[in-house]
A and B are shown apart, each in its own frame.
Chain A
């Protein structure tokens, strides 16, 4: 009973799944598009990727503000080391949710392509065009993405372990439409 009342708030749940979905779309799209030969299709996919990524960055701001001003439900009983890993993972996920799209945005500017959100809203370039910096930021974007990939894997594995093995409400309390 008490664990059911300890659900995440509506905005927290909405932000969680929306951002999760966008990352799950941007990630494989990023891997796929970068190996394509130059074509109109490639230009389109790059733009979609950037728009999805910038949406993550945009949603990250209210999500972080909400998280900082609202106490999430208390952790369910578990060994202290597991709790530490889970918390550390969450913090790093927040960090990468911000740094991955930020590095993409900076890379795009350094490569000389301003980001124009949905093809209509020009987003300012925070840095100027520079070939070396563009290459470097590409490496950074890739490395951060593999970090994100690992963390998401750990995060999902943890959630599933709680759901399937421990049979507790860790996952359910973050699911939409749950009770």
Chain B
């Protein structure tokens, strides 16, 4: 009797502890998106990647222990028009035959105060690896964790757009990246 009592309260304690420190791990790709905006002759042109996989482990109680990886299927790009889609998978742009994916691996997360954070890590595209700092916000939406953030990627750092396309007066060097990731708590995975 007594032992059962202790066991129960221990379980309750554990549960309470788990409720305080939820780790958001199960990314819902159907609710998540990876968008970007390029500037062509001063015209902002929106685009997105339809296929990507991402792993996240984020506990708002211990943000600095968080980690994430992201892998983008570059051929799934929508660059705003059919012409552009045909062009950007080619050799001078992403060269997807040789480099089908882009990858981001975090090396750390900084808490900036409030619900604002910063993910640090390395981005690899087309064989080039660069350090990236991506500020993001975290909020809880029901049981889910929602991450919204973005950063500016300089395409020439990764040789995205070679030859005549290196002309940044036609297509600007700066590409705005925006991500929206929805993840469920780790526990939900066991259901």
Q: Which residues of A contact B (CB under 8 A)?
A: 38-41, 43-44, 46-47, 111-116, 118-120
Contact = CB atoms under 8 A, between A and B. Distances in A.
Interface residues of B, number: 19
B41 A38 contact: no
Considering the complex of A and B, which 9 residue pairs feature the smallest CB-CB distances, nearest first? A119-B42, A40-B170, A47-B41, A40-B167, A116-B42, A43-B170, A116-B43, A38-B87, A38-B83
B40 interface: yes
B17 interface: no
A53 B40 CA distance: 18
Contact of A44 (B41, B81, B165): B41
A119 B169 CA distance: 10
A134 to B, nearest CB: 9
B43 A114 contact: yes
Contacts of A44: 41, 170
B44 to A, nearest CB: 7
A73 to B, nearest CB: 42
Contacts of B164: 39-41
Contacts of B83: 38
Interface in B22-48: 40-46
Contacts of B171: 40, 43
A54 to B, nearest CB: 13
15 contacts: A38-B83, A40-B164, A40-B169, A41-B164, A43-B171, A46-B41, A47-B43, A112-B80, A112-B81, A113-B43, A113-B45, A114-B43, A116-B41, A118-B42, A120-B42
Contacts of A118: 42
Per DSSP, chain B at the interface is mixed
Contacts of B86: 38
B84 interface: yes
A27 to B, nearest CB: 21
A38 B84 contact: yes
B168 to A, nearest CB: 9
A120 B44 CA distance: 11
A40 B45 contact: no
Contact of B41 (A111, A112, A119): A119
B43 to A, nearest CB: 5
Contacts of B45: 112-113
Contacts of B169: 40
Nearest to B47: A112
B177 to A, nearest CB: 19
A124 B44 CA distance: 12
A41 B46 CA distance: 21
Contacts of A116: 41-43
A43 B42 contact: no
